[in-house]
A and B are shown apart, each in its own frame.
Chain A
Amino acid sequence: DTGVSQNPRHKITKRGQNVTFRCDPISEHNRLYWYRQTLGQGPEFLTYFQNEAQLEKSRLLSDRFSAERPKGSFSTLEIQRTEQGDSAMYLCASSVARGGSEKLFFGSGTQLSVL
């Protein structure tokens, strides 16, 4: 399977702990996006990378959130000092830049539960 891969699939943590998620995009894709989805809502944009550069961060992404994409390949999303409000599905998507009309390929997501 050469799709977008996310690990872990599920993560349960206690409030105040740090968590890290990983996303492996489709290999030839130069753009990588993180979205967050809560129950009954559509995905919300968090941040995106073009190659290794993080070009934009949403205001939804507080200082406790940090994302990296070293070497322009896989990406990690870390949440420090987790809060119950961080509980959500974290989605990663990748694409080939095409002037804003590109098709996004999504992974299956990481479901985070903060107790």
Chain B
Amino acid sequence: AQSVAQPEDQVNVAEGNPLTVKCTYSVSGNPYLFWYVQYPNRGLQFLLKYITGDNLVKGSYGFEAEFNKSQTSFHLKKPSALVSDSALYFCAVRIGSSNTGKLIFGQGTTLQVKP
């Protein structure tokens, strides 16, 4: 069965410091992996995706994610956090081999960036 795990409910980081939000996955076959962000009272927004190719994927707002096949991880990173990055972050994996946007989401990690 396919699954996604985000082991941290909350991550706290000081503004200007690097941040990492962790995600591990379990899939059969090649994974299609995504990160979405949810700001209060707004819909989820796409940040980035990994399909194939370079293990380091760059996305919106200066975020990047590193795909590690041996560790089955897809951690979200940013070199220097901003207070405005504070939000709820979801890792997701495409369900099965379907060529659709059907995703399994992790439970989410709240990122708190303090000034």
Contacts and interface: CB of A to CB of B under 8 A. Distances in A.
B32 A42 contact: no
Contacts of A48: 100-102
Interface residues of B, number: 26
A33 interface: yes
Contacts of A93: 43-44, 101
B105 interface: yes
A99 B99 contact: yes
Nearest to A104: B101
Contacts of B92: 42
Interface string A76-113: 00000000000000010101010111111111110000
Interface in B18-60: 32, 36, 41-46, 49, 51
A62 interface: no
Interface residues of A, number: 28
Contacts of B98: 56, 100
A24 to B, nearest CB: 13
Interface of A: 3-4, 31, 33, 40-45, 48, 55-56, 91, 93, 95, 97, 99-109
27 contacts: A3-B43, A33-B101, A40-B108, A41-B107, A42-B90, A42-B105, A43-B90, A43-B103, A44-B105, A48-B100, A55-B100, A56-B98, A56-B100, A56-B102, A91-B44, A93-B44, A95-B101, A100-B99, A100-B100, A103-B46, A103-B49, A104-B46, A105-B43, A106-B36, A106-B43, A108-B41, A108-B42
